[in-house]
Amino acid sequence: MPKELPDLTDRILGIVAGVPDGAGKAEIAHALKKMASSRTVTRRLAELVAANRLATKGKSRALRYTLPPVGGAGALVASPAGVTGEGTVELPVSVEGRKLRELVRRPITERRPVAYKRDFIEGYLPNKTWYLPLAVRKRLRELGTSSREERPAGTYARGILDRLLIDLSWASSRLEGNTYSRLETRNLIELGQAAVGKDQREAQMILNHKAAIEMLVDNVGEIGFNSYTMRNLHAILSENLLEDPAMSGRLRARIVEIEGTVFHPLAIPQQVDDYFKMILDKASAIDDPFEQAFFVMVHLPYLQPFVDVNKRVSRLAANIPFIQKNLCPLSFVDVPEQAYFEGILGVYELNRVELLRDVFAWAYERSCQRLMAIRDTLPAPDPVRLRNREQLSTVIGDIVRSVEGITAEGVRKRAARVVAADDLDRLVEIAMQELFNLHEGNVARYRLTLAEYVRWRRLHQPKA
């Protein structure tokens, strides 16, 4: 790779990563016109393709650049996803995963009904039992490590929060059958615009994901594998979606059934409570963040501690160690619903994790490709802004909701109530800049509704 323009490569990768269907040469060159000539961008694109850091699809004017398939030397899964003759996407899996997939694909009438097996969780010994082999854990850590520097917990997740809110909310909801596109998800999260013709429950599901992710990132010092975190995570994810709203955030006290499987979850409420505590205790004792994440993705759905929304809780809970240790989050982008469900079936019906492990490893590599390429194009976060994220939101939200104009005196007066003296001057400067740059596409960042912003803008349209 040539030495001139050392950050051009990262900028190109970031642009491509931000476009799910790939980016054309013209739009890449246009985005970088202040940085490099069209000829230089064209040459760099060719070099990145030759180095297997970019892939192409289409021809001539339809040519688009995409990130290459995950995999490669040292990976658990060493080939890209493929498309079957029926048009469904199949992830590459290990030999063990392939055998397990054949078993769970048998007609349901040929699969023997099974009940919850207590020895599956009882026999797991933290830091002695390993669902993820050492080579896989090392590989994923290399991919997910965001910096060699020691930084406060949650720094990485906050730095890419806007993109994480969209990607994880969309991808996790899609695994539940949600039909929102990524663009529709973005419009809902950033502009508050629900997609026309869609079920309101789909919008509710996505907004619940957004709120749950914000809860994890905003409370990184308090969250963990404990009852408080899991119950509140369930309460947020299940808001306005349960037949009985009183069960939101509560462990189930009745039998539940799961469609499409011969597995019958534990039925006795006291035992559900006991094994829920056991899962959390063992998860907390696991030292490796990847084993910890995968463990909860296996055992929370297997126990079904809540009346519904168990898999959603497990997917967001899996991100807790990544947020706490500044590792790349797991967004589940591009994971086919069938591949994920078949991995879960292997756990439900056979207590085997190989297929879900393959999905987990593939999904994490894909998340790293996407999120870390985006992160590398971002400037280093302002430490004052990082420390005072909630305070900044409070100041801007108060000014807009009170329909107050933009004045340094007004901003300082409000900021002084919530910000330490050492940070006050810088935060006033940041808040002023953010108020002048406020628009329909970023009001959700400050928990403002579109109506609140429009009312404020009519009276106080910032002057350029």
| 356 shares its domain with 392 | no
Let me know if residue 75 belongs to a domain: no
Q: What is the mean pLDDT of the chain?
A: 86
Q: What is the pLDDT of residues 334-359, one digit of tens each?
A: 899 999 999 999 999 999 999 999 99
| 185 shares its domain with 248 | yes
Over range 271-285, report the average pLDDT.
Answer: 98
| The two three-digit tokens of residue 176, written as one number | 């539940």
| 404 shares its domain with 368 | no
Dihedral over Cα of 14, 16, 18, 24: its sign = positive
Domain extent at residue 429: 383-459
| 54-58, 200-204, 236-240, 285-289, range with the lowest pLDDT | 54-58
What percent of the chain is predicted at pLDDT more than 90? 55
**H or E element in which residue 64 lies:** strand 64-66
| 290 shares its domain with 392 | no
Over range 254-258, report the average pLDDT.
Answer: 94
Q: Does the pLDDT value for residue 440 go beyond 50?
A: yes
| The two three-digit tokens of residue 218, written as one number | 């905003």
| 449 shares its domain with 312 | no
**SS3 category, 83:** strand
Given a contact cutoff of 8 angstroms between Cβ atoms, the answer to whether 170 and 206 are in contact is yes
Dihedral over Cα of 297, 301, 305, 306: its sign = positive
The pLDDT value recorded for residue 31 is 84
Count of structural domains within the chain: 3
| 176 shares its domain with 320 | yes
The pLDDT value recorded for residue 161 is 82
| 370 shares its domain with 224 | yes
| 132 shares its domain with 227 | yes
**How far is the C-alpha of 182 from the C-alpha of 18, rounded, in Å?**
12
Domain boundary among 335, 350, 375: 375
**Cα angle 295, 217, 306; round to 5:** 45
Q: What is the pLDDT of residues 76-92, one digit of tens each?
A: 433 445 444 444 557 88
| 62 shares its domain with 43 | yes
The pLDDT value recorded for residue 462 is 54
Over range 172-196, report the average pLDDT.
Answer: 94
| 102 shares its domain with 214 | yes
Q: What is the pLDDT of residues 385-420, one digit of tens each?
A: 878 888 998 999 999 998 888 888 889 999 999 999
The pLDDT value recorded for residue 19 is 66
CATH code, domain with 47:
1.10.10.10
The pLDDT value recorded for residue 150 is 57
What is the value of pTM for the model shown?
0.69
| 364 shares its domain with 405 | no
